[in-house]
Structure 1
Amino acid sequence: MDLGLQGKSALVTGASRGIGMATAESFAREGIAELHLAARSEEGLARVRDRLVAEYGVKAAIHPMDLGAADNVAELARRCPEVDILVNNAADSTPGPLDKLSDRDWRDSLDMKIFSYVALTREFYAHMKRRGGGVIVNDIGNSGENPDANYIVGTTGNAAMMAFTRGVGGRSLDEGVRVVGVNPGPVATDRMVKLMKRRALDWYGDEGRWEELFDKYPGKRPAQPGEVADLIVWLASPRAGYITGTIVTIDGGIASRGSII
């Protein structure tokens, strides 16, 4: 299927690893003309850029920065204001229940999960509105629809971003812009291992038993980053041109089941 991405440009945040890296590769494989890759790790971004340029011939630029800082968000928008697609993906919430988390844990996590997504959306939405078109995809997380007391910061931030995505995306097509969200469940990334170890500690008293949790998942496995990435890229493409203000869940049925048990 031709996704119609030729001649388009995209900015992917959190692109040095995991879902962000897989999304950048999926865009490149589908023939996008230009990529902008943002994350904290300059070394990691450079590796991704060099591989994608070598394998797919895509034009790519990197932007190493901490998007939890408002000044960096403004700088990133200044560097690449003409992108057709923004994928908000850079976020990392501290796992754990309410009584184990400090105010700093909450603020650091929500600065990335809520405020960086909101600020980036505000900046790039304005440019897209001016041009009369564009797409914003928010990578959120299924705990926003399946509340989890042992991941209370993440579940709160994700629920907020679901509401934000629906609220903005419900009106955005009036101005030629689409805003959509993706809710992955467990995905085979370094970040997932950290969360799984925390859950194994909470459930079994031993973080070393984290792989036992796979037995509770549909299909006895997590999703692969490429499975989530391909969904993001399809939603960002003209093939999904009538989809806005909604969230697509990719979690093997966990949220619908209400549990991984």
Structure 2
Amino acid sequence: MKIDLSGKTALVTGSTAGIGWAAAKGLAESGATVIVNGRKEATVAEAVSTLRKQVPDAQIQHFTGDLGTAQGCAALVAAIPACDILINNLGIYGPKDFFETPDEDWAHFFEVNVMSGVRLSRAYLPGMVSQGWGRVVFVSSESAINIPTEMIHYGFSKTAQLSIARGLAQRVAGSGVTVNSVLPGPTLSEGLAEMLQDEVKTSGKSVEAVAADFVMAHRPSSIIRRAATVEEVANMIVYISSKQASATTGAALRVDGGVISAI
């Protein structure tokens, strides 16, 4: 299978690192013009520079702005009024006990993790429908189904993404536009690697080995018994963005290493 996205423009939110950056790289390697996004000019510039080095022929644009706000989304749409592929990857997470999580935290997670995708989908989907082709992907999490007790506010926001994606898929039924969710499990992104650095230093183990220990301690139902790589998650995102995935829509596609105990 050769995925060719030449002539398509793909916007990947929160794409300066982690799954978002890997998705941007995979889409660029498939020929799409990729729009890299982040909140800080320096990190956006670094991500674009690295992407150009690794994918020399890549067509890359960029937008610096906080898409966790209505103003940031509006500024993006004003600067880039259309895209063919929208990857709603932007997200935040962090543990906090339910009884210590104030309204402000719930509202912040909702704005960033949920409303960013709502606002951008509302802006870009009509253009996709009018041209008869488009892809929208929400990067959710296995935590949407396995709600983590240590961050219920995060799990709630990821479950909301599944509802929105399914509803939007039905809303644009028959248009040639697909809307899906991707559910990563524990993934060895820069954030997880940084969190595990102390254990790496004290144990003398590789970061991959420490990450595997972390997975088995916190997600013991994992079948692969390790953290996924960001590239493994990005592979699903690239595929579901492709022309070959035209019969898959309204789906919640797991890249969770088997963490979710369901057939």
Q: Give TM-score, length-normalised by structure 1.
A: 0.87
Tell me if the contact between 1:147 and 1:155 (Cα under 8 Å) persists in the aligned partners. yes
AA aligned to 1:148 is P
2:256 is equivalent to residue 251 of structure 1: yes
Tell me if the contact between 1:173 and 1:244 (Cα under 8 Å) persists in the aligned partners. no
AA aligned to 1:101 is T
Shift, 1:82, TM fit = 2.7
- Counting aligned pairs with the same residue, the percent is 30
Tell me if the contact between 1:94 and 1:109 (Cα under 8 Å) persists in the aligned partners. no
Shift, 1:218, TM fit = 3.1
Partner of 2:69: 69
AA aligned to 1:45 is V
SS in 2 for 1:255: coil
AA aligned to 2:258 is G
Q: Distance in 1 between matches of 2:101 and 2:9?
A: 39
Partner of 1:39: 38
Moved over 6 A (4+): 194-197
More helix by share: 1
Shift, 1:194, TM fit = 7.6
Computed over aligned residues only, the root mean square deviation of the Cα atoms, in angstroms, reads 2.2
Q: Distance in 1 between matches of 2:109 and 2:261?
A: 26
Shift, 1:112, TM fit = 0.5
Q: Distance in 2 between matches of 1:112 and 1:26?
A: 24
Q: Distance in 2 between matches of 1:52 and 1:211?
A: 28
Q: Distance in 1 between matches of 2:69 and 2:52?
A: 29
How many aligned residue pairs are there? 246
Matches within 5 A, 1:84-99: 84-99=84-99
Q: Distance in 2 between matches of 1:115 and 1:214?
A: 29
Shift, 1:46, TM fit = 1.1
In structure 1, the gaps of 5 or more residues are 198-208
SS in 2 for 1:150: helix
AA aligned to 1:214 is V
Q: Give TM-score, length-normalised by structure 2.
A: 0.86
2:221 is equivalent to residue 220 of structure 1: no
Partner of 2:200: none
Q: Distance in 2 between matches of 1:192 and 1:107?
A: 24
Shift, 1:5, TM fit = 0.9
Partner of 2:124: 124
Q: Distance in 2 between matches of 1:75 and 1:53?
A: 25
Partner of 1:204: none
Q: Distance in 2 between matches of 1:211 and 1:256?
A: 18
In structure 2, the gaps of 5 or more residues are 198-209
What's the CA shift string for 1:106-141, capped at 9, x where partnerless? Answer: 111111111111111111112212322211011011
Partner of 1:230: 235
